[in-house]
A and B are shown apart, each in its own frame.
Chain A
Amino acid sequence: MAKDSLYKYVLALGDDALILGQRLSQWAYRAPFLEEDIALSNISLDMFGRANLLLEYAATLKGNGITADDLAFKRNERQFTNRILFERPNGNFADTMVRQFFLDAFYKLFLQKLTGSKDEQLSAIAQKSIKETAYHFRHSSKWVIRLGVGTAESHTKVQSAIDNLWMFTNELFEMNEIDNEMLQQKIGVDCSSLKQEWIKIIDEVLAEATLKRPENIHMTTGGREGIHTEHLGHLLSDMQYLQRAYPDAKW
């Protein structure tokens, strides 16, 4: 039972990283300039690396010869438990950067706590990831500031990205049964305790960017229970196509 909870916990963290990596990889060769193509693929690679570690760990917890690739390529929408913000479409460059900024700020706090996990594997993964996230955060927060301060057009675009994505942020701090169980066992993180600190980070950057934090917005949730926006199904059908079409093949 406890092992099953740990499996679900690790799997959910793996799904977050995997889906975000896949989203970022959709930028391939479409960034505003070459250096940014390189930066976005770097971040995407880091997320896939993180996903790979987490899903491999989840696969060993599951047993029965299941592999990380099975978990990534052979589950359906309802079986994915990534939080919704991770799956939001790329939109324009501001939408992507704001999504990334919200998540990087979250990861910074979350991974810091996770390094103290009693579970050695999770702690090791957190230690590796936290360095990458520090770079991601510098990159995304700097862009939010550039776009906020830059021109009237960029200011409008980045503000509307913030307004549109805000409703998905509260889910980051929710705790379900598995989260609570993992917290009790000193394996998992108390996400609800991260919110204040997160808001502080967001406010600091938004102030420098001359942008506003939205208020009184209805918050959406569901990802951890396998309830997603319709976008996830399309992302998966694209990502899983070869594995599904040729189930016997090895690549």
Chain B
Amino acid sequence: MTEKKEQLFQDKIDAGLKIEPKDWMPDKYRKHLIRQISQHAHSEIIGMQPEGNWITRAPSLRAKMVLIAKVQDEAGHGLYLYSATETLGITRSELIEQLQTGKAKYSSIFNYPTLSWADMGAIGWLVDGAAIVNQQSLRRTSYGPYSRAMIRICKEESFHQRQGYEIMSKMSNGTPEQQEMAQDSLNRWWWPALMMFGPHDSDSAHTSNAMKWKIKRGTNDDLRQLFVDRTVKQADLIGLEIPDPDLKWNPESKHYDFGEIDWEEFWEVVNGNGFCNKERINNHTNAHTEGNWVREAALAYAEKTQNGDLK
């Protein structure tokens, strides 16, 4: 019986149809999706912190408005994605608890500190840029609510990427100090950005089912290569140097070859030993705890209004 259902389910996916919340789906598919979408949602939310760190110090009125709007967009992305995850039968408060207890992960990139205004450029350009490469392929993912969320999100991420690149380009054409900040920022964010695509395909635990189910639509290494090819050209254009001595154009493959990622660092950060892991989660937990009384008040008010205790 289940086998037949599973066959029908797979046929549907193979035919390019979407799976919707009320459709039958294998338990593993559901679990995989909850993990993947919520991890993505948590990344949007924790990602508000490194950029939020510079909102009050943004150097012009325009820069300030652009940055606030960006961080606000990320909050919106978190919301869509939490809603998409909720269609799989888990609540937002459960998801938040998983984040705060470390049961759920988020993108490790956000465990690196933002140390100069140029980092607002680098994050938009590289981090949103890498996210776009990953997410563009997910617009066609098999799960309907996820796919629709990704279509909306991708549009906004493209804005973020351009705005980030604009900051970088302004700074690399600016005063010597600004140029230094821009290069330093690229040096610090380049490798973590490459790590965003995850381990080599040969070392990745979740790839095969995810590809079959069309939850993932490109391999880690392919997507990483696409990102490198794109970004090297953009760096050249504004006179910044990619911090990789092994980087060079390969005329045969028509791609850039690049050096080996420091996988030890990658796993250290994934496992909680990055520069800001504890702080990010503490900040999230503190804000949430400090907000307890507000959420309780809102609930109590809603109940009183419903019960007709109020006029």
* A68 with B57: CB separation less than 8 A: no
Name the distance in Å between A160's Cβ and chain B's nearest Cβ: 13
Interface residue? A233 (CB, 8 A):
no
Interface residue? A127 (CB, 8 A):
no
Interface residue? B79 (CB, 8 A):
yes
* B78 with A34: CB separation less than 8 A: yes
6 closest A-B pairs by beta carbon, nearest first, are A32-B291, A150-B297, A154-B297, A28-B52, A242-B59, A32-B294
A93 and B59 contact, Cβ closer than 8 Å, known pairs A250-B174, A251-B117: no
A149 and B310 contact, Cβ closer than 8 Å, known pairs A28-B52, A34-B75, A48-B68: yes
A-B contact pairs, 22 of them (CB 8 A): A28-B52, A29-B49, A29-B287, A32-B291, A33-B294, A34-B75, A34-B78, A35-B79, A36-B291, A36-B294, A42-B72, A48-B65, A48-B68, A68-B61, A146-B297, A147-B297, A153-B297, A238-B56, A243-B59, A249-B174, A249-B178, A250-B174
Bitwise interface map of B from 139 to 178 toward A, beta carbon under 8 Å scored 1, else 0: 0000000000000000000000000000100110011011
* A48 with B61: CB separation less than 8 A: yes
**Size band of the interface chain A makes with B:** 35 or more
Neighbour of B300 across the interface among A25, A150, A248, CB < 8 A: A150
Contacts of B310 in A (CB 8 A): 149
Contacts of B52 in A (CB 8 A): 28-29
Spell out A's residues near B (CB within 8 Å): 22, 25-26, 28-38, 41-42, 44-45, 48-49, 51-52, 55, 68-69, 72-73, 92-93, 145-147, 149-151, 153-154, 157, 238-239, 241-243, 246, 248-251
**Size band of the interface chain B makes with A:** 35 or more
Bitwise interface map of B from 59 to 71 toward A, beta carbon under 8 Å scored 1, else 0: 1111111001101
In the assembled complex, the Cα of A121 lies from the Cα of B255 at a distance in Å of 55
Q: Is the interface of A mostly helix, strand, loop or mixed?
A: helix
* A29 with B283: CB separation less than 8 A: yes
Residue in B56, B117, B290, B296 whose Cβ sees the most chain A Cβ within 10 Å: B56
* B293 with A154: CB separation less than 8 A: yes
Interface residue? B274 (CB, 8 A):
no
Contacts of A73 in B (CB 8 A): 59-60
* B56 with A25: CB separation less than 8 A: yes
Q: Is the interface of B mostly helix, strand, loop or mixed?
A: helix
Given contact pairs A29-B52, A34-B45, A69-B61, enumerate 15 new A-B contacts (beta carbons under 8 Å).
Answer: A28-B48, A32-B294, A38-B79, A41-B75, A55-B61, A93-B294, A149-B300, A150-B296, A150-B297, A150-B298, A151-B296, A248-B175, A249-B59, A249-B175, A251-B60
Interface residue? B12 (CB, 8 A):
no
Contacts of B297 in A (CB 8 A): 146-147, 150-151, 153-154
Contacts of A52 in B (CB 8 A): 61-62, 65
Tell me the residues in window 34-85 of chain B with beta carbons closer than 8 Å to chain A beta carbons.
Answer: 45, 48-49, 52, 55-65, 68-69, 71-72, 75-76, 78-79, 82
Name the distance in Å between B175's Cβ and chain A's nearest Cβ: 5
Name the distance in Å between B270's Cβ and chain A's nearest Cβ: 22
Which residue on chain B has the smallest CB distance to residue A145? B301
Interface residue? B304 (CB, 8 A):
yes
In the assembled complex, the Cα of A31 lies from the Cα of B288 at a distance in Å of 8
Interface residue? B212 (CB, 8 A):
no
Neighbour of A69 across the interface among B49, B60, B299, B304, CB < 8 A: B60
Neighbour of B177 across the interface among A35, A92, A154, A249, CB < 8 A: A249
Name the distance in Å between A233's Cβ and chain B's nearest Cβ: 14
Name the distance in Å between A3's Cβ and chain B's nearest Cβ: 23
In the assembled complex, the Cα of A249 lies from the Cα of B171 at a distance in Å of 9
Interface residue? B278 (CB, 8 A):
no
In the assembled complex, the Cα of A246 lies from the Cα of B170 at a distance in Å of 14
In the assembled complex, the Cα of A92 lies from the Cα of B300 at a distance in Å of 19
In the assembled complex, the Cα of A72 lies from the Cα of B57 at a distance in Å of 12
Contacts of B301 in A (CB 8 A): 145-146, 149-150
* A149 with B49: CB separation less than 8 A: no
Interface residue? B295 (CB, 8 A):
yes
In the assembled complex, the Cα of A48 lies from the Cα of B64 at a distance in Å of 8
* A28 with B57: CB separation less than 8 A: no
Contacts of A42 in B (CB 8 A): 72
* B291 with A250: CB separation less than 8 A: no
Contacts of B304 in A (CB 8 A): 149
* A246 with B178: CB separation less than 8 A: yes
Which residue on chain A has the smallest CB distance to residue B117? A242
* B296 with A28: CB separation less than 8 A: no
In the assembled complex, the Cα of A147 lies from the Cα of B294 at a distance in Å of 7
Contacts of A68 in B (CB 8 A): 61
In the assembled complex, the Cα of A92 lies from the Cα of B75 at a distance in Å of 21
* B60 with A241: CB separation less than 8 A: no
* A93 with B72: CB separation less than 8 A: no
* B68 with A146: CB separation less than 8 A: no
Tell me the residues in window 253-306 of chain B with beta carbons closer than 8 Å to chain A beta carbons.
Answer: 283, 287-288, 290-301, 304
* B48 with A153: CB separation less than 8 A: no
In the assembled complex, the Cα of A49 lies from the Cα of B78 at a distance in Å of 25
Residue in B57, B65, B69, B301 whose Cβ sees the most chain A Cβ within 10 Å: B301
Contacts of B175 in A (CB 8 A): 246, 248-249
Neighbour of B293 across the interface among A69, A153, A242, CB < 8 A: A153
